[in-house]
Amino acid sequence: MDPARTVASMSRQLPLGLQLQASARFSNFLAGPNDELIGQLQHTADGSGEPFFLLWGADGSGKSHLLQAGCHLAADQERTVAYFSLQNISVLDPELLEGWENYQLVCVDDIHLIAGIPRWEEALFNLYNRIRECRGNLIVSSTSLPAGHAFGLPDLVSRLSWGLVYQLHPLDDNQRLAVLQQRARQRGCEMPAETGRYLLRRLPRDMPALIELLDKLDEASLAAQRKLTVPFVKSVLGL
pLDDT in tens, 222-237: 888 888 899 998 898 8
Question: Which pLDDT score is estimated for 8?
Answer: 35
pLDDT in tens, 30-39: 888 999 999 9
Question: Which pLDDT score is estimated for 14?
Answer: 35
3-state class of 34 per DSSP? Answer: coil
Residue-wise burial string across 179-190, b where 16 or more C-beta atoms lie within 10 A, e elsewhere: bbbebbeeeebe
Q: What is the domain partition of the chain in residue ranges?
A: 3-167, 173-237
Low-confidence ranges of the chain (pLDDT < 70): 1-19, 205
Question: Which pLDDT score is estimated for 69?
Answer: 95
Q: What is the CATH number of domain 173-237?
A: 1.10.8.60
Q: Rg of the chain's alpha carbons, rounded to an integer?
A: 19
pTM of the model: 0.78
Q: Check if 3-167 and 173-237 are the same fold.
A: no
Strands (E), the chain: 52-56, 81-85, 105-109, 137-142, 164-167
Distance CA 187, CA 170 (A): 24
Question: Which pLDDT score is estimated for 39?
Answer: 97
The yes/no answer on whether domain 3-167 falls in CATH 3.40.50.300 is yes
